[in-house]
Structure 1
């Protein structure tokens, strides 16, 4: 990796302008472009099935999202969207050579860890997750371990880079999470984290009415996440403050608007919006089905109806131009 940081646009300041041309919804052909992931041997896994989705039994009570192939495809597509946001970069940490030890928190399908290990052959990359959904084929410098990141960390190694992405659905105690990162980083090492807000969707042109299904979905889902002890209402300021309190120096913060659909006029944002919409076709259900049925008291049919109304919005029906914020923060442990 070059020691010079890529010039990445922070698009949070300017309003997103909708494309009113006839091909604004081009790309909604219903075909997923996500890749599949080879799972570990099925016989060693223990699952429960609920509301038509598969959940890893070890995650029950700790993590409310499914771990089936549909969710794995969505996670891989999410990885692709992050590459688009970061200009093709896996990391913006400015190392002048491959970092020795790298930790990927909540590795999911392992796609970031595998890509990083491939592009940085001198690095050793460890991916941690609750569910064993990582592939059985790995690079020699990549390994996966099953563990709960909210327990005491027991790594024998210290790391030069710790990567954390979209962990607000699983981490209940972020101050402790960041403190453990600090303790297990070498001096001068980096934490690179990315989170998105779960507050009601934003809009720059007034096209999202107060009774929009997407706002109702966001409020219900965030409320149930909070009841479960999660922190859906954290802002970028909260994450920066907690990192600073843990001892880190904030190096760079990027804020991206991620449109829900292919409605933006800007070509790059339209592309990102189409990826977001494709993810949303299964993502609304992944984020909320268990919470809405088991917590909010909706019937499975009511939850399905609400999720479908949200999918209709992001695939161009009704002309609602909603977006959410994605925050990318690079922090450094002092020498």
Structure 2
């Protein structure tokens, strides 16, 4: 689908700088200075302090799972799976909401969960296994063995998407499918009413600049088709779905999405992934909180019909490989 799913306009530039593009290679990382390396190390350290088994994180995980499933009209994947699958990998599984559901839907399949932190679910089906591993290093999975790899909301934990995609290509069997789901950290509006001084474009642009400065890509969806092509995947496609921010939508389906997304935003303090980004870049909490509060006021009091997008990127390893 087009990167603009409706007639609205984005807050900031449609082509923010990324660390994955150079004149020599479209997927080679830019040279990194010591400041960038240190900033990203601090950012990842803050991320690892967020334990998936905490009550807040569990509620966030369940709210996120409800939202994605609702957007997909009750389905667990955007891609069409065969009636029987043998092996599934859920990368960055968190507390395992998606993995448990896909395991119950496909009891014949072996579902492997990989995350930075150990997670133990008492109600997990017997065909689900959990492994602690660093997704940014070689995966503990046999080559040519997987029917499906599922990655959801993992942009802030990925150091190099080309590396992740190369691992995915190696571990999928020929014809196996990859699905990456992300909510883009970009605000859009239906009416083109954003001004350059509005808090929403200001916050978004600052996030883009800080991400580029430390080499963290919080918006991989824009570049995933290119990276997938470089990695050797085929049939890459993207599906974008609107997530209204606020209570402006009168459409029943969009109103349901807005309610679920509001629940998720409130559980994350309206901060989502940005708090770690701003703090590790040198912002103090009062300054960051003031910006977030102004952004909230723009949404709740500004009269602007704001929305974000959930993007589902799907592809497969070529099926005719020998």
Shorter-chain TM range is 0.7 to 0.9
**1:165 maps onto 2:152 in alignment:** yes
Distance 1:184 1:310 in 2: 42
* Contact 2:198 2:298 survives alignment (8 Å): no
Aligned to 1:126: 112
Aligned to 1:293: 279
Aligned-residue offset at 1:245: 1.5
Cα distance change of structure 1 residues 318 and 93 upon mapping to structure 2, 3 Å threshold: closer
Cα distance change of structure 1 residues 144 and 166 upon mapping to structure 2, 3 Å threshold: same
Aligned to 2:247: 262
| Gap regions ≥5 residues in structure 2 | 9-41
Aligned to 1:206: 192
* Contact 1:281 1:311 survives alignment (8 Å): no
Distance 2:110 2:5 in 1: 38
Secondary structure of the corresponding residue to residue 151 of structure 1: coil
**1:326 maps onto 2:310 in alignment:** yes
Aligned-residue offset at 1:11: 10
Distance 1:64 1:216 in 2: 28
Distance 2:90 2:279 in 1: 31
Aligned to 2:293: 308
Deviates more, 1:316-325 or 1:189-198: 316-325
Could you say what the CA RMSD is over the residues aligned between the two structures, in angstroms? Answer: 2.7
TM-score normalised by the chain length of structure 1: 0.76
If each structure's helix is expressed as a fraction of its own residues, which one has the higher value? 2
**1:111 maps onto 2:119 in alignment:** no
Aligned to 1:276: 261
Distance 1:296 1:202 in 2: 27
* Contact 1:226 1:232 survives alignment (8 Å): no
Q: Deviations over 1:174-231 (max 9, x none)?
A: 11111110000011110111123334x1112133332222323222333333333211
Cα distance change of structure 1 residues 66 and 142 upon mapping to structure 2, 3 Å threshold: same
Aligned to 1:253: 238
Of residues 193, 198, 223, the one that matches 2:209 is: 223
Of residues 174, 185, 201, the one that matches 2:161 is: 174
Aligned-residue offset at 1:232: 2.9
Aligned-residue offset at 1:248: 1.1
Aligned residues: 283
Secondary structure of the corresponding residue to residue 217 of structure 2: coil
| Gap regions ≥5 residues in structure 1 | 1-8, 17-57
Of residues 136, 147, 150, the one that matches 1:150 is: 136
Aligned-residue offset at 1:133: 4.4
